[in-house]
Amino acid sequence: MRESKFRELMAEEFGAGYALTVISSHSITALRGTAEQLLADGVPPRTIWEAICVDFEIPEERRLGRDLPAKRT
């Protein structure tokens, strides 16, 4: 998973504004740091996302992203 996909999943789950707060200030229990710190240290975004899912009890069915309705063209 690329960092851009990680940020996309965060925004889908938490909303764009609150996602930024979680990324910068939530200390991830299993990884002992914020997402911002961990990304800077080279921890894979998938590892961080999975740990956030555990901390926030995100249901399994949303861990790959929300099912959004198809866009009409």
Residue-wise burial string across 15-34, b where 16 or more C-beta atoms lie within 10 A, e elsewhere: eeeebeebbeebebeebebb
Q: What are the tens digits of pLDDT across the range 49-62?
A: 999 999 999 999 88
- How many CA atoms does the CB half-sphere of 59 hold within 13 Å? 4
Q: What are the tens digits of pLDDT across the range 17-27?
A: 999 999 999 99
Query: Between 32 and 65, where is the model more confident?
Result: 32
Nearest-10 Cα torsion for 17, 18, 24, 30: -150
pLDDT of the residue at 21: 98
Query: Between 63 and 69, where is the model more confident?
Result: 63
pLDDT of the residue at 70: 63
Q: What global pTM score does this model have?
A: 0.86
